[in-house]
Amino acid sequence: MFAAPELHHFPTDDGNLVHRAAGAGPPLVLLHGGFLDHRMWDDQVPAFAATHRVIAPDTRGHGASANATRPFRQTDDLAALLRHLDTGPAVLVGVSMGAGIAVDTALEHPDLVRALVVTGAGTSEPDFRDPWTTAVLADWGRALAAGDVEGWLAAFLRFVPGPHRRMADVDPEVVRRQREMALATITKHTAGEPDHRVPVRDTWARVAKIDVPVLAVHGGLDSDDHIRMADRLVRSVPGARAVTVDGAAHYPPMERPDVYNALVSEFLRTL
């Protein structure tokens, strides 16, 4: 499943981290959402590789990358990879968890960041208030604690249509891809195993210091919480702006790749 020739392994002192690479030019890093992997960017890698050096990592514990056995910060893993590749500053493009990692990296490793594109998150410190989101996360947490993989998948996949549609309204191929990636990642782990992630602190208090261009790409059908947090980032960072992909929820790059790619390409041309 992970034998594509463009996959590369980066050895660390806590196992290998894997990334997909393609193209040449200014570096562009694609950061996937939680429980997914680099394959969520299948519609972006070839499009952007025509003009950029595209790097799409599997975050530690996801996809083909090693699980953590000791405390780590996701932003430090990304920084180590970019320094290993001798690349940067790079444009970081992230969805959900990936967006949080992108913002964290702008705060913790600003020398590696040229610009940010975020979707479905503001920083790595989420603020969930909407009843729909909190109910989904509660179902997700109960299933995860019980080791109920199918129950967890059902809860996780509710983010694909979002709160305003039924699953039947979404392209079945998008749902299939999401399920395949999420199942591959969740089955790498066991119920009750330690969570070795170390959070980046005080992100909201520091985001106003970000001094690179920022674009938020909303899914117009995403939850109120996810749009609100990305909008908060836009309001906090001088010069940041937001655009919306209609007809998509939490994963615009997968649901409407042509529209998403065009919006990001337009942003890249301004840099």
- 20-40 pLDDT tens trace: 999 999 999 999 999 999 999
Q: How confident is the model at residue 2 (pLDDT cuts 50, 70, 90)?
A: very low
Token representation of residue 150: 């199918």
Q: Which residue range forms the structural domain that includes residue 142?
A: 131-186
Res. 3 pLDDT band, cuts 50 70 90: very low
Query: Are residues 145 and 257 located together in one domain of the fold?
Result: no
pTM over 0.95: yes
| Structure confidence at residue 88 (pLDDT) | 81
**Is residue 206 domain-shared with residue 174, that is, in the same domain?**
no
Among candidate residues 164, 186, 208, the one where a domain is terminated: 186
- Please check whether residues 158 and 256 belong to one and the same domain: no
Whether the CB-CB separation of 18 and 42 falls below 8 Å is answered with no
Number of domains in the chain: 2
Q: Which of 110, 36, 44, 123 is nearest to 78 (CA)?
A: 110
Could you give phi then psi for residue 56, rounded to 5 degrees? -125, 95
More confident: 190 or 271: 271
CATH number at residue 89: 3.40.50.1820
Q: Within a domain: residue 74?
A: yes
- When pLDDT is cut at 50, 70 and 90, the band that residue 1 belongs to is very low
Residue 1 resides in a domain:
no
196-233 pLDDT, tens digit per residue, is 999 999 999 999 999 999 999 999 999 999 999 999 99
Distance separating alpha carbons of residues 199 and 241, to the nearest angstrom: 26
User: Which ranges constitute the DSSP H helices of 147-223?
Assistant: 149-157, 172-186, 203-206
C-alpha dihedral (204, 213, 106, 236), degrees to nearest 10: -10
- Domain identity same for 89 and 210: yes
Tell me if 2 is assigned to some domain: no
Cis previous bond, 172, omega within 30: no
The reply to whether 180 and 225 lie within a common domain is no
Cα 145 off chain centre by = 23
